[in-house]
Amino acid sequence: MGNAFSCVLPLEMQARRRAVASKALRIPRSKSRKQALADEEILQQQALAMALLQQQLRFERSASVRNSKISTTPKQNFPRSASVRARQASDPVLDPHQLLHNKEGLQNLTTKHFVLIHGGGFGAWCWYKIIALLEDTGFTTSAIDLAGSGIDSSDPNCIRDLNTYCKPLTSYLQNIPDSDKVILVAHDVGGVCISHAMELFPLKIAKSVFVSAMMIRTGQSAFDVFAQELAGPDCLLRKAQIFNYGNKDSQSPTSVEYDKAHLNDLLFNQSPSKDVALATVSMRPVPFSPLMEKISISAENYGIVPRYYVMTGEDRAFTIAMQEKLAELNPPNQVFRLKGADHAPFFSKPQALSKVLAEIAQIDTSAVN
């Protein structure tokens, strides 16, 4: 009997010890998960608050600029972004220490200022995750609302040409000192706007980045690119378009918008549901005439600005085949690919996109210029 107890008791004690040790190991991961969820909740609350403010505020200058001072010691803490799908083995994992090649990388950069240009229907609000990630690293960002977009009070149906549509961007560039070069980043049809700006202010632009954007050649319009996409037999983009006719004297559309019933499948098939909700209440019609206007750019101006293209692998609005065709017809200096990103990589892959932008900022273009 005594021998039986001497064998059983040590086994029970070992089991209890293993249970206690297992609980102890799980505590840090639980706290880490709760902290990550809390960080994400704060970001989402700020974004939703921004959307509500858009319904109340009207600004004379339609530019959202965070003028925080650049810290001499870059912060290394990044908020985690939510995702509607499980992380895959092929997904890049952003290590904050890898955003810059070395600790002195940011201090040695000649250009630390990103100017972010949204795509059709979006506004400056769509960049909120990218703004937070880049500025937490020490970069400066300015997110511009194009005419009739975001909190800009212009009626999209009354914008007749590309120059008017791009005016908030060109006015912003005109007012910065000649010595303060910026990096332009554009999404979607915003690519046409930064191409227009590159032609006007080539010496104020250090680099331009096209994120699933229209990187067209001289004599082309944004519609020329869309027309190739719309020609497909099962084109979801064509099904999602709604044309508005705000000019009684003309039968031509004055603006175009997306059917909200198709937003999730077309634009946000990899994006978190909270970001989809934000976009649903914030997106506005896109002026139609600027999409039809053919752009005029030259090798002497547009051509001297280094260009980079960021492709989005799971994009249903602007397919990877079309992105590759644009890059082939108008070759950029370098192409980057975001695996698992939909048409809104600032929502679906914010950390990976921020890492690419930081990498582009560090590329030495002295030999190019």
What's the Cα-to-Cα distance from 26 to each of 15, 38, 210, rounded to whole Å?
17, 18, 43
Active site residue 315: yes
Is the CB of residue 119 less than 8 Å from the CB of residue 189?
yes
Tell me the sheet residues that pair with 256: 243, 286
Helix, strand, coil share (%) of the chain residues, nearest 5: 45, 15, 40
Type of residue numbered 218 = T
Active site residue 97: no
- The sheet with strand 286-287 has its strands ordered as 241-244, 255-258, 286-287
- The sheet with strand 182-188 has its strands ordered as 63-66, 140-144, 113-117, 182-188, 205-213, 307-312, 334-338
Nearest residue to 163 via CA among 200, 210, 114, 123: 200
Active site residue 343: yes
Which one from 136, 152, 315, 342 is the annotated catalytic residue?
315
Which one from 136, 188, 275, 342 is the annotated catalytic residue?
188
The dihedral region occupied by 118, where left means phi > 0, alpha psi between -120 and 50, and beta the remainder, is beta
Which one from 113, 118, 196, 343 is the annotated catalytic residue?
343
Tell me the sheet residues that pair with 311: 337
Q: What residues act catalytically?
A: 188, 315, 343
